[in-house]
Structure 1
Amino acid sequence: MKSYRWLFYLVLVAAIAVGCSRSTSAGTFTGGVAVHTSSSSGDFPVGDEPPPPFRLSEGVAGYEPGAETPLAETTPLSLETLQNLLARLPAIQVGEKDVQEYALPEESLPPPRPGEEVDLPFPPPESVEAPTVETGPVEVVRFSPEGDVPLAPRLSVTFNQPMVPLTSHEELAKEDVPVRLTPDVPGHWRWVGTKTLFFEADVEGVDRMPMATTYTVEVPAGVKSANGSILEAPVTWTFRTPPPTLEQTYPTGGPQKLDPILFASFDQRIDPEAVLEHVNVKAGGITYPVRLATEDEIQADAQVKWLVQNANEGRWVALKALEEFPKDATVTVTFKAGTPSAEGPRVTEQSQSFSFQTYGPLLVRDHFCSWGGNECPPFTPWTVLFTNPLDPAAFDASLIEIDPELSALDTTVYGNALELRGNTQGRTTYQVTLKAGLTDVFGQQLGKDVTVSFRVGSAQPVLSVPGGVMVVMDPSGQPALSA
């Protein structure tokens, strides 16, 4: 009840404040003009303009506003006086339904249950037929892998009848397995069901059986099944994983520098020292001896460093020739037959190789309109190709001269291409002179001025109409387009 009385108190105080406030007129001073406003209104003759609700007068020079009008002194009501005022208010009427208990459900609904409940007697009144049990001798119905395989992630053998009882993997792991694998490989056997046996290799760093190896698998005669049947004759088969196969090489293509690091990665672990003995490097019919690249040399070559960081550990080799290769020559790197693996005894049966081209002299190889065709339309870029990549840091646009002069000339160097753009004029032949000072990434210069020509043809006729796919024409207009 006290909360309601305080509410009425606040309403009463607000009403008293509104009743006591009165406004008559106000005078404000703005700049040098005194403005007087009035809230009075009256009747004026029809048709006459009413006088403005304010009066203007000339200001007084040096006028200083007076002190602010002081506020009226007030005396706050005491709590006893306020309580007496609130006591004079009529009592609050409370209806029968104003206060009710919270409507709680009589009982929460149980969570829904899927399916239906079916009552069955246990044990059942009728006997159930026992499952059919395989009889006769034990047989190996399938196995894998077999023959030459690229990878051997696991070995599996399936029999025609249960070989072990239904129990936990921990219990089955304690029993001997009826399969022999040669050579021995680190790993574990496990039963999948009661008829299929898996072997999974546990070689450090890989999830497969070692490469470059010939495996023999044998299920010996006399192996017993869970019901006592016996394998009458042994079952034997073999499979082979491949020797090292070349996967990634560097460098390739060209032009390349004369003393690059030779990088090669394989599909399995190798011994770089052993592989080095089976490497042959030739250029121009001459064999070049090579050695293993040092760690400092690898770190100094950004490309080879990236290749090493992204290669599988132990599967790559980096080589360095003892002397530079000749210019403009094809270099062939061959890993001869007999290259060994670090995972198994098998060696390669065929040679594997890659090649690259060393750089030659800097020459102009071709020039053409970038859009193709015999003649370039106006404003079409031109392209000049060189035999070697140009050095962007050493490029100077002043080494390019064009006759007649081409306004707004813009040059771009990317790789072995030089692109020229400008305000080309139609039906004009331009002579482009490439100065001898142009330099490639190998530090070579063009050596002499070379001039090439570009023929700019006529502009292609084009008619375009503003609008989208559909344009609504003026039905009263003429069937023609204005220029």
Structure 2
Amino acid sequence: MWSERDHTFKYEQPQSYKFDFNIDQVNEMNIETTTDAGVIPLHDDLQQQNLTPDQLQELFSRVSSELVAESTDDQEFFKREATIKVPKTSKIIQTPFPPPPSDRQEDFDIHIEHLKQLAKKEASSLVIERHSPNENDVDHVLSTITLTFNQSMISVSSLDEQMRAEDLGISLTPNVEGRWKWIGTQTVQFEAKHRLPYSTKYTLRVNKEHCVSVNRGKLDDEFFFEFSTATPTVREFLPDGEVSTLKPTCFLLFNQKIDKNEIFRHLCVVRGDEHKISNKELELVDETTAKSEFKSFINEKEGNHAQYIAFTFKDDLLKATQYTIQVPAGCPSAEGPLVTTSEWSASFNTYEPLKIIDWFPNTNNEWQKTALPGRTWSLTFNNSLDHSTIKKSLFRFEPEFVSKINLKETLLLGIEHTEDNDRKILLHNKSQSNTIYTLLIQLEILKDIYGQTLQHDHSDQPIQFEVQAIDSPTLGVLQGESGMIIMDPALLNEPCYTFIVCNYSELILRINRVKPEHYQEYLLYFNRRYRSDEEQKPDDKLPGE
């Protein structure tokens, strides 16, 4: 027995459930159910027996005697109307080929004599509408030359043919390796195999007698145009700024191929006092050394390995002197006959002797004349310092610092020199208010990265630090991010941490050694100690030992 309910579609009335009984199917289901169970009955008397069709019909007749069949229950299957096919947009017309004479349309008359008269009529003048390049001085890479006419020069069927532009009187001098090709029927283009060489003057000419269009149009005048490619120009120059050696290597990269010997012969080096250095005092650098030292500029893929020159000096240059490299007008190129028409120059400076150029606080400085007691002082040099030569013992102050507690205690607590600011030394001190300190540096020991020792005349240029007088009440500042102070690893010899106090005669510091397991205990102590909303207990102890 199955329960079925037909689906309801549009324009269809809902139907009630309908039951269909099939006796044979019921018996088969009973047999399958009994067989699939796979259970062996305990007693043969309890086994299920199949009813015969007559017995089943007798049972169904008892229950169906009161059922009345309704004619409205039976309805035909509802089928939706088929979708209308999309109409075709074209219409097939059957006609013979060729069409019969009666169907041919002839709206115009063709007269052979009229065509002959048109052929005899002179064509309009041929004009070159545009050409590229159109400037006389070309300062960029040029690989194509284009001419565009106002009339068709070849027929469409000839585009695929190798029609020679020379046959139309078109020429380019001097000759460049490449080929002419047509782009359409009115435009012809010369395509160089590589590019047009630099430092060359070119002439583009079109002969008016040989240049004839398809319509037999001719030029009124001969076309003549001259243009020149760029002469040698320096694109990159090294060194720039201050050099770190007195025998620097100079590197010049040009925009085109050059003859190194010819450029070297024209080069000129001028000192700051207008003294000209002879080329005999210079020497070319070999190719292997140049490519190793300037490998970021010499690129084989760009083909610039023949566009540079590198040279150095036979003798040491003067210190603290400006040198100017000049490429004068008239320098030749290896690509063409044209030479440079203007001078190019660039300069660099040699390093100066090591000296002190400023310090803080400085009485000669309008904005930083004095400093607070305990404020870190600084010395600024003109060159980067050699870190290994900086020692605390090099610095001595007058007046001497006198400690009431420890006679061995000195004014200078520590010195600091970092890589990111290698021209400056920081002096951490215990300066007193209303005092002027004079610094004396032991000479011939402190050096810069060039190996020069410090030369300073203390009598002519005294280095003084003025500490201002403070009448304020007691003040102490000891800070650290989240209560944690990190010692600076850049401090030399003796690590220290500087904090500022005013008008204290003495301080008592307590330092405990802690381990990682004390960190949580320390945070609780810090919160109670420095936060006003936390209750402070008298028995609070620092963690550690």
TM-score of the superposed pair, with normalisation by structure 1:
0.60
Change (3 A) 1:299 1:152: closer
Three-state SS of the structure 1 residue aligned to 2:161 is: helix
Partners of 1:86 and 1:397 in 2: CA distance: 108
1:288-299 map, 5 Å: 288=278, 289=280, 290-295=282-287, 297-298=289-290
Q: Does 1:444 align with 2:452?
A: yes
Give the structure 2 partner of residue 360 of structure 1.
Answer: 352
- Structure 1 residue runs of 5 or longer lacking an equivalent are 1-7, 9-79, 91-106, 111-115, 129-133, 460-481
CA contact (8 A) 1:435 1:448 kept: no
Task: Give the Å deviation of 1:201.
Answer: 2.2
Give the structure 1 partner of residue 217 of structure 2.
Answer: 229
Partners of 1:353 and 1:413 in 2: CA distance: 34
Task: Give the Å deviation of 1:340.
Answer: 0.8
Three-state SS of the structure 2 residue aligned to 1:273 is: helix
Residue type of the partner of 1:83? G
The C-alpha deviation readout for 1:151-199, integer Å capped at 9, x for no partner, is 2523221211122223575425666564211111122333333222222
The C-alpha deviation readout for 1:206-242, integer Å capped at 9, x for no partner, is xx42111111100111201122212232110101112
Residue type of the partner of 2:205? E
Partners of 1:144 and 1:333 in 2: CA distance: 37
Partners of 2:350 and 2:239 in 1: CA distance: 10
Q: Does 1:410 align with 2:404?
A: no
Give the structure 2 partner of residue 162 of structure 1.
Answer: 152
Partners of 2:441 and 2:92 in 1: CA distance: 98
Choose between structure 1 and 2: higher helix proportion: 2
Task: Give the Å deviation of 1:331.
Answer: 2.0
Change (3 A) 1:306 1:376: farther
Three-state SS of the structure 1 residue aligned to 2:354 is: coil
Give the structure 2 partner of residue 25 of structure 1.
Answer: none
Residue type of the partner of 1:313? H
Partners of 1:89 and 1:173 in 2: CA distance: 106
Change (3 A) 1:399 1:168: farther
Task: Give the Å deviation of 1:118.
Answer: 7.4
Three-state SS of the structure 2 residue aligned to 1:320 is: strand
Residue type of the partner of 2:418? T
Three-state SS of the structure 1 residue aligned to 2:38 is: helix
In our comparison, the structure showing a higher alpha carbon Rg is 2
Match among 107, 118, 141 for residue 129 of structure 2 = 141
Change (3 A) 1:167 1:448: same
Match among 324, 328, 335 for residue 320 of structure 2 = 328
Residue type of the partner of 1:148? D
Partners of 2:179 and 2:432 in 1: CA distance: 79
Give the structure 2 partner of residue 200 of structure 1.
Answer: 191
Choose between structure 1 and 2: higher strand proportion: 1
Task: Give the Å deviation of 1:119.
Answer: 7.5
Partners of 1:136 and 1:171 in 2: CA distance: 26
CA contact (8 A) 1:157 1:197 kept: yes
Deviates more, 1:447-456 or 1:184-193: 447-456
Give the structure 2 partner of residue 479 of structure 1.
Answer: none
Three-state SS of the structure 1 residue aligned to 2:262 is: helix
Match among 279, 284, 307 for residue 315 of structure 1 = 307
Task: Give the Å deviation of 1:293.
Answer: 0.8
State the number of aligned residues. Answer: 355
Deviates more, 1:309-318 or 1:273-282: 309-318
CA contact (8 A) 1:397 1:411 kept: no
Q: Does 1:171 align with 2:165?
A: no
Task: Give the Å deviation of 1:251.
Answer: 1.6
Percent same amino acid among aligned pairs?
29
Partners of 1:424 and 1:135 in 2: CA distance: 103
1:71-470 map, 5 Å: 83-84=38-39, 135-145=123-133, 146-153=135-142, 154-167=144-157, 170-172=160-162, 176=166, 178=168, 179-203=170-194, 208-222=195-209, 223-283=211-271, 284=273, 285-288=275-278, 289=280, 290-295=282-287, 297-298=289-290, 302=293, 304-308=294-298, 312-368=304-360, 373-374=367-368, 384-392=379-387, 394-396=389-391, 399=394, 405=411, 409-414=415-420, 417-420=423-426, 434-436=441-443, 437-448=445-456, 452-454=463-465
Partners of 1:120 and 1:433 in 2: CA distance: 112
- Structure 2 residue runs of 5 or longer lacking an equivalent are 1-32, 49-81, 109-121, 402-410, 473-531, 534-545
Residue type of the partner of 1:418? K
Partners of 1:351 and 1:246 in 2: CA distance: 11
Three-state SS of the structure 2 residue aligned to 1:199 is: strand
CA contact (8 A) 1:391 1:441 kept: yes
TM-score of the superposed pair, with normalisation by structure 2:
0.53
Task: Give the Å deviation of 1:440.
Answer: 1.5
Task: Give the Å deviation of 1:401.
Answer: 5.8
CA contact (8 A) 1:385 1:416 kept: no
Three-state SS of the structure 2 residue aligned to 1:171 is: coil
Partners of 1:85 and 1:125 in 2: CA distance: 98
Partners of 2:397 and 2:107 in 1: CA distance: 104
Change (3 A) 1:257 1:127: farther
Task: Give the Å deviation of 1:348.
Answer: 1.1
What's the Cα RMSD here?
Answer: 4.9
